[in-house]
Structure 1
C-alpha cells in the first residue's frame, strides 16, 4: 500500500473518531455551570439562608413561650415549738415541692427597632441575591473564557492537521520526483523536517487541548470522563447602540446595584440605632401549678396552687454610657461612605464601559480584517502550490506560503474568540449578560 493511501485512511479514521465524540453546546455548558459549579451552588445556599432570615420566625414580632417545671425533696431533722407552748421533734421528716408553669413574653413596643431590623433583613436578602448574580456572571465569563479556549485550540488543531496533510503530500511528491531523478534528496529531507515540525506542533496543541478541557470540566463542576468537542461557531449578538448600552450600565450594573442596597441598609441601621432612645414595653403572662407536701411540723400538710398571672413592664434605658449615640454616629458615617462608594463606582463604570466598548470594537475590526487576510493568504498559497507542482517555485518558497496561510488562520481564530470574549465582558459591565442568548 502506498504512503499516500495510508495517510488518507488515517485521515478518515481520525475524522470518524472526532464525529463520534459528543458536542458540548454553549447552552449546555451554561446550564451545567449554573447547576454544578461549586461557587454558584455556594452562592445559592447563601441566598437561601438570607431568605430564611426574612421569615416571620426571625422578625421578633412573635411572642416567646417558655415552659418550666421543678421538683424538690427534703429529708430533715426538725425540732418545732408551737405558739401554744407545745413542741415536737421529728427525725427524718420528709417533705416535697412540685411546680410547673408556662410563661408568655411579648414585646409590645421596642422603639420600632424590630421593624427596622426586619426591613434590613429584606434588604440584606436582596443584596445577597445581587451577590449571587455577580457570582453567576463571573462564572459565566470564566466558563466562556475556558470554553472558547477549547474551541480555539480545536480550530488550531484542525488547521495544523490540514497543514501536516499538505506537507505529507509534498513529501510523497518529493519522493516520487527523487525516484525519477527530477530533484535532489534535499527536497525530500526538507519535507521530512517540515513534517516533524508540524507533528511536534500537533502534539503540543493536543496536550494544550486536553488541559483546556480539564479546566472546562472544573468550571462546570462535572466529573464525566468521556471526551467531547465544543461548538466553534461564534455569533456576535450585541444589539445595543453605545449610548443606550451605557444607560443600561448605569441602571443594571451589579456592583452599582449592590452599593445602592448597602445605602438602604445603612439608612435602616441609623433608624434602628435611634430606636434605642425610646422605651420598651412588654407583656408577660404565666399559668402555673405548685404543690407542697409538708412534714408534720407544718400547719398545712398539703398546699396546692394553680392560677394565671399577667403583667405589663416598661424598660427605658435613659443613658447607656453613650453607646447608642456612638452607634448612630458610626451608622451615619457608614451611610456617607456608601454614598461616596456609589459615586466612585459610577466613575469606574464610565471608564470600564468605554474601555470595554473600544476593546470590543477594535477586536471585532481586527477579526474582520483577519477574515479578509485569510482570502489573500489562501489565494497566495493556492497560486504558489500550482507553481510548485510545475517546478516554478522551490520548496522553501512553498513552505513560506504555507506558513503564511497557517499564521493567518491561527490569527483569525485568535481574533474571533478575543472579540467574542470582549463582547461578553461589555455585556457584563452593562448588566445585560444574563439577558442574551448564548
Structure 2
C-alpha cells in the first residue's frame, strides 16, 4: 500500500510537468519590463525628473500676480477750513477699492539661472541612467531565478527518470522473487531505493514550485502557477574580450552615472560663481484705484488706472565670504568626483577581467560536464545490460544509476552557472539590454 501511494504521488507530480504554459526568456524580459515593481518605481522617478527639467521649473519665465482689495470706513470727523469754518461729521462713510496685475521678471542673474537649468537637464539624464541600472539589475535578478527554475526543471526530470528505472527494477525484483530467481533482500533493496528516489523527486518538485513563485514575483505576479520555462541555452561564444572591455569603459551604467555627476558638479561650480555678478530685474504693473471720500474731503470721488514699470539692480558686493566658501567647496566636490572616476575605472577593469575569466572557466567546465555525461551514460547502459543478465548485483547497478544522476545534476548546475556568468559579463560591459535572450 505504501509503494502504491508513492507511485500515485509521483504520477501526479509528473503530470504537473506536462501541458504547462511555456515562458521563454524574451517573454520573461518583456513581462518584467512592464510589470516589475522596482522598474515601475524607477520610471516614476524619471517622470519626476522630466517635470523638474521643464521650462516651467527653470526660472526663465516671469511671474504674474493679481491683487485686489477694498476698504470701508465709518468715521467721526471734525474739519476746520482755512476761512475759519468748522464742519463736524458723525458716522461719515468712505470707501476705497483697488486692483492690479503685477509682473516680475529677472533679466539677468549672473547666469545662475542658466546653469541651474542645465543642472536639471543633467539630473534628468542621471535619473534615466539610474533607471537603466535598475532595469539591468532586475534583468540579472530575473535570470538568476529563471535559470534556477530551469536547472530544477531539468533536475526534476532527471530524478524522475531515475525513479522510473528504480520502479522498473522493483517490478523485476518482485517477479524474480516470485519465481525463486532472487532473494527477498533484492526486493527490499529495490523498495528502499525507490523510496529514496521518491523523496528526492518530491523535494525537487517543492523547490521548483518555490522558485517559480520567486520568478513570478519578479514578473509582477503576472503568471498563473501552472507554467513551465524554456530550458534551451545558447552561449555567445564569439564574444571578443577587447571589444567588450572598450564597451565597458563607454557604456557601463555606473561609470556613466559618475560622468554625469561630474558634469553636474561642474555646473554647480559655475552656478556658485554667478553670485559674484549683479542681478537685474524688470517690474511692471497695471493698477486701478477708486476712492469714495466723506464730506470733509475736497474730492468726493477719485478714480485712477494705468501702467507702471521699472528696472532694479541688486549687487551683493560682499556677503561675509559665504559665496567664496561655496565656490571652494564646489570645486573640491568636483575634484572628488574625478578621483572617484579614476578609482572606478581601475575597479571596473578588475571586475571585467574577473568576470571574463569566470565565464571562460565555467563555460569550459560545462563542456567537460557534457563529455562526462556521455561517459556516465555509456557506463550506465553497460551496467544495466550486465545487471539484466545477472552478471552484476543490485548494489553495483544502483551505484551506476547514482553516478549517472549526479553527472546530470552537475551538468545542469554547470550549464546555468556558465550562462549567468555570461550575463554578468554583459552587464559589466553595458550590453545586457542589447542582446536577444
Whether TM exceeds 0.5 here: the answer is yes
Aligned partner of residue 18 in structure 2, secondary structure: helix
Deviation at 1:12, TM superposition (A): 8.2
Deviation at 1:48, TM superposition (A): 1.2
Name the counterpart of 2:368. Answer: 369
- Cα distance change of structure 1 residues 12 and 214 upon mapping to structure 2, 3 Å threshold: closer
- Cα distance change of structure 1 residues 245 and 273 upon mapping to structure 2, 3 Å threshold: same
Kindly report which structure 2 residues correspond to 1:61-140, keeping only aligned pairs within 5 A, or say none.
Answer: 61-140=60-139
Name the counterpart of 1:260. Answer: 259
Name the counterpart of 2:21. Answer: 22
Q: Are 1:246 and 2:245 an aligned pair?
A: yes
**CA RMSD of the aligned region, Å?**
1.9
Q: Contact 1:238/1:423 (CA < 8 Å) preserved in 2?
A: no
Aligned partner of residue 292 in structure 1, secondary structure: strand
Name the counterpart of 2:232. Answer: 233
Deviation at 1:8, TM superposition (A): 10
Q: Contact 1:97/1:290 (CA < 8 Å) preserved in 2?
A: yes
User: Which digits, 9 at most, give the CA deviation of each residue in 1:193-215, with x for residues without a partner?
Assistant: 11111111111111111110111
Name the counterpart of 2:177. Answer: 178
Structure 2: how far apart are the matches of 1:398 and 1:195? Answer: 13
Aligned partner of residue 149 in structure 1, secondary structure: helix
Structure 2: how far apart are the matches of 1:6 and 1:292? Answer: 101
Q: Contact 2:279/2:315 (CA < 8 Å) preserved in 1?
A: yes
Name the counterpart of 1:146. Answer: 145
Deviation at 1:55, TM superposition (A): 1.3
Q: Contact 2:10/2:198 (CA < 8 Å) preserved in 1?
A: no
- Cα distance change of structure 1 residues 234 and 160 upon mapping to structure 2, 3 Å threshold: same
Q: Contact 1:127/1:258 (CA < 8 Å) preserved in 2?
A: yes
Aligned partner of residue 287 in structure 1, secondary structure: strand
Q: Contact 2:292/2:301 (CA < 8 Å) preserved in 1?
A: yes
User: Which digits, 9 at most, give the CA deviation of each residue in 1:130-183, with x for residues without a partner?
Assistant: 111100000000000001111111111101111000000000000000001111
Q: Point out the more displaced range, 191-200 or 221-230.
A: 221-230
Aligned partner of residue 221 in structure 1, secondary structure: coil
TM-score by length of structure 1 reads: 0.96
Aligned partner of residue 80 in structure 1, secondary structure: strand
Deviation at 1:239, TM superposition (A): 3.4
Structure 1: how far apart are the matches of 2:318 and 2:6? Answer: 92
Aligned partner of residue 435 in structure 1, secondary structure: coil
Name the counterpart of 1:205. Answer: 204
Q: Contact 1:427/1:433 (CA < 8 Å) preserved in 2?
A: yes
User: Which digits, 9 at most, give the CA deviation of each residue in 1:288-312, with x for residues without a partner?
Assistant: 0001111111111111110100000
Deviation at 1:221, TM superposition (A): 1.0
- Cα distance change of structure 1 residues 10 and 382 upon mapping to structure 2, 3 Å threshold: farther
Structure 1: how far apart are the matches of 2:290 and 2:95? Answer: 8
Structure 2: how far apart are the matches of 1:315 and 1:9? Answer: 89
TM-score by length of structure 2 reads: 0.96
Structure 1: how far apart are the matches of 2:306 and 2:146? Answer: 73
Count of residues in correspondence between the two structures: 436
Aligned partner of residue 334 in structure 2, secondary structure: helix
Q: Contact 1:178/1:185 (CA < 8 Å) preserved in 2?
A: yes
Structure 2: how far apart are the matches of 1:240 and 1:17? Answer: 39
Q: Point out the more displaced range, 45-54 or 238-247.
A: 238-247
Structure 2: how far apart are the matches of 1:222 and 1:83? Answer: 92
Deviation at 1:80, TM superposition (A): 1.8
Structure 1: how far apart are the matches of 2:209 and 2:302? Answer: 85
Unaligned regions of 5+ residues in structure 1, if any? Answer: none
Structure 2: how far apart are the matches of 1:371 and 1:158? Answer: 17
- Cα distance change of structure 1 residues 218 and 7 upon mapping to structure 2, 3 Å threshold: closer
Q: Point out the more displaced range, 43-52 or 138-147.
A: 43-52
Structure 1: how far apart are the matches of 2:326 and 2:111? Answer: 16
Q: Contact 1:47/1:132 (CA < 8 Å) preserved in 2?
A: yes
Aligned partner of residue 97 in structure 2, secondary structure: strand
Kindly report which structure 2 residues correspond to 1:240-389, keeping only aligned pairs within 5 A, or say none.
Answer: 240-389=239-388
Unaligned regions of 5+ residues in structure 2, if any? Answer: none
User: Which digits, 9 at most, give the CA deviation of each residue in 1:373-423, with x for residues without a partner?
Assistant: 000000000100000001111000000000000000000000000000000
Name the counterpart of 1:397. Answer: 396
Q: Point out the more displaced range, 79-88 or 127-136.
A: 79-88
Deviation at 1:113, TM superposition (A): 0.5
Deviation at 1:218, TM superposition (A): 1.0
Structure 2: how far apart are the matches of 1:239 and 1:250? Answer: 20
Deviation at 1:36, TM superposition (A): 0.7
Structure 1: how far apart are the matches of 2:92 and 2:224? Answer: 80
